[in-house]
Amino acid sequence: MIKMKSIGIIGMGDMGKLYALIFSGLGFDVNGCDLPGKRSQLEKELAGTKIHILDDGTAVSRISDIIFYSVEAENIGKAVKLYGPSTKKGAIVAGQTSVKTPEIEAFQEYLPHNVDIITCHSLHGPSVDPKGQTLAVINHRSTPKTYNIFLETVKKLGSNIVELKDYMEHDKITADTQVTTQVGFESMGTAWKRCESYPWEDASYVGGIDNVKVLMCLRIYAGKPHVYAGLALYNPYAKEQVKQYARSVTDLFGLMIKEDEKVFRQRIEKAKEFVFSNDNSPILLDDDIMREFSLGILPEQKMPNSHLSLLAMVDAWHNLGITPYNNMICQTPLFRLRLGIAEYLFRNTELLEESAHAALFDKKIRGDDLQFAIAVNEWATLIEKGDAEGYKRHFEETKGFFKDKLPEGMKRSNELIKRLSGNR
């Protein structure tokens, strides 16, 4: 069997560096590159490692046996067009972009016919150890021999390998597990910014579920906007799902304003029955652990809130005919926690009743819910239009509001993910 000795990584951002360091530590020769202006800084950062920083992707492509493109979705076409033709004969080419449709289209157009295409996607961020996390692998164009070589190589990362049939299956699943998840948390952040309210100082947003909401919101805004923009704007299945989530939020909020209790409860009950009545594998988040992760007011001071974001998420799954448990094969920590808190709400009769009553009759939180409904529709409009600059600007504006709390949010969310990872 041919041995793949060298790994090439084109794009040495946070994820690229993470995998360069891991593969180097596993004994592979690693060749990496980024934009020319970043070479000297990368060489300083990686001094003392066995990672070779080269001039560009052409140099990396010529000498590497397995090549990973770790670039933004919006730039994948340009990068492959520029460096793909130089790919070493017999090499395996993979991508680490979170959206596979534009990536595969670029590979098919610009790579030589004598290289194999086996792409992948690490379903976690650069601050999370790949061990135990999900790594999706897609065999697009390869021989059985080289596919086995690739699998054996990535298995050394310690991730849970999920083999998908094609890139379209990948994008359909990630539209739900990642895009609608992130839009929900982004919208919460935008709503809190508009209300000029820090949720850890508000008695309506403390306690188990709300602690998770706040930490995951901060976790997203501690990241880089291009990561989330790429997921939302270049996934061909994202627009439909985000549009339905916005519609669910708007419809439910309209029923809340009218205090149409009968229709509101019927809609929630139908969604609950569709998503949670079957014999799925529940996540069963640990209530004691969730309560520990408050950033502010003690849980004893908690006031009811509507959990509109979660009611609408389950309603959207129902209307789209999506059973989210079926997508757990490509779960991310964020999606697992989002599904977990939705499950926690809907499987707890007392808490669901409290949420429904607050949604319909508690005027104190109506203003917050209005801002959330507006925020969701703003994000949905940006995605519908494919407005990358508007998306990034919207993201940065909200990020600025939370900037002083983002480091702690990232630290505590990492701890929460680690603590709850035992509930798989």
Residue 297 has pLDDT above 60, yes or no: no
pLDDT-derived band at 279 (thresholds 50, 70, 90) equals: low
pLDDT of residue 421: 61
pLDDT of residue 2: 47
Residue 284 has pLDDT above 80, yes or no: no
Q: Percentage of the chain surpassing pLDDT 70? A: 96
Tokens encoding 255? 């029923």
Q: Which long-range contacts (CB under 8 A, 24 or more apart) does 261-268 make?
A: 261/360, 264/356, 264/359, 264/360, 265/356, 267/315, 268/311, 268/314, 268/315, 268/352, 268/356
Domains, the chain = 6-164 (3.40.50.720), 172-423 (no CATH)
pLDDT of residue 227: 86
Q: What is the mean pLDDT of residues 274-295?
A: 78
Contact 56, 80 (CB under 8 A): no
pLDDT tens-digit series, residues 76-93 = 999 999 999 999 999 999
pLDDT of residue 298: 54
For the ranges 61-65, 109-113, 250-254, 296-300, which has the lowest average pLDDT? 296-300
pLDDT of residue 202: 83
pLDDT of residue 424: 44
pLDDT of residue 300: 57
Q: What is the mean pLDDT of residues 382-407?
A: 96
Q: What is the mean pLDDT of residues 401-408?
A: 95
Residue 72 has pLDDT above 50, yes or no: yes
Residue 418 has pLDDT above 50, yes or no: yes
Residue 277 has pLDDT above 90, yes or no: no
pLDDT tens-digit series, residues 141-183 = 999 999 999 999 999 999 999 999 999 999 999 998 889 999 9
Residue 293 has pLDDT above 50, yes or no: yes
pLDDT-derived band at 215 (thresholds 50, 70, 90) equals: very high
pLDDT-derived band at 99 (thresholds 50, 70, 90) equals: very high
For the ranges 81-95, 126-140, 275-289, which has the lowest average pLDDT? 275-289
Residue 359 has pLDDT above 60, yes or no: yes
Contact 74, 16 (CB under 8 A): no
Q: What is the mean pLDDT of residues 6-10?
A: 97
Residue 1 has pLDDT above 50, yes or no: no
Residue 302 has pLDDT above 90, yes or no: no
Q: What is the mean pLDDT of residues 179-192?
A: 95
